Amino acid sequence: MARHGGGRGWYGKMVGAALGVTVLAAGASVWTAQAGAVGGSSPESAASAKPAGDVKPVEVTIAHASDKGERGVNITIDDGPDPVWTPQVLDVLREYGVKATFCMVGTQAQAHPDLVKKVVAAGHRLCDHSVSHDTAMDKESQSYQSKQILDAERMITEASGGVRPMYYRAPGGAFTPYSRSLAASRGMRPLGWNVDTKDFERPGTDAIVATVERELPNGPTLLFHDAGGDRSQTVEALRRILPWLKDQGYAFGFPVR
């Protein structure tokens, strides 16, 4: 899987020192099952939190398939939520009756809890995309990976009002055996992709659409972005791709759990 960007990623550059203070100061929460309420905080770091009794481990293998079977496709949206682009993406998805999986960056979820709640209310699923979108986190220590994953899980769960992420997608595909096992132990299936639309490079709407049409035989999980820059091309591409997929006889589903 291709890496998007380099180094710490654009989020790391944005949040800087303020992120470090936020992450270090954050306490752990007691999580409940999907759609349950968040419990009280613990003085321990989220990185050292123990799985709650109702958190069920899932497979550690990276999910690519769709719960809709051979003619299923999974729309996945990374890097948000963003106050400009996420509402537009939600509007397009609603227009075509499509449910998607939103892979959220912890700091973005924390900054825009209203959008996280809108995503959940619309019937979409949540995915942990780390705290700061560090595409080189696979080169870091296990303790660093743990904080990136578990702190983001807490941020997203709290922002949603108690709905836990069901998946973990490593920034740029920077998975490690440890990060996959940790996420799976928290009930978050590692999530990959089959079609990288490269929309983050802003190649033009036509190019994004052409990539999907050309690479769809590679598998059902499609990768788009709703943050990290101007995503107008993504919005327009989705407006063309979603009805095209329906016309081709595809059903929209979620990655297998």
Active-site positions? Answer: 78, 225
Residue 66's CB: how many other CB atoms inside 10 A?
Answer: 22
Q: How far apart, in whole angstroms, are the C-alpha atoms of residue 31 and residue 50? A: 10
- Which 3 state secondary structure label does DSSP give 30? coil
Interatomic CA distance for residues 171 and 153, integer angstroms: 14
CB count, 10 Å around CB of 139? 11
Closest CA to 50 of 154, 129, 138, 166: 154
Burial class from Cβ neighbours inside 10 Å (0-12, 13-18, 19+) for residue 143 reads exposed
DSSP H helices in 161-204? 177-185
3-class DSSP state of 162:
coil
Q: Are 36 and 42 in contact (CB under 8 A)?
A: no
Tokens of 85: 């682009």
Q: Which of 158, 154, 180 is nearest to 169 (CA)?
A: 180
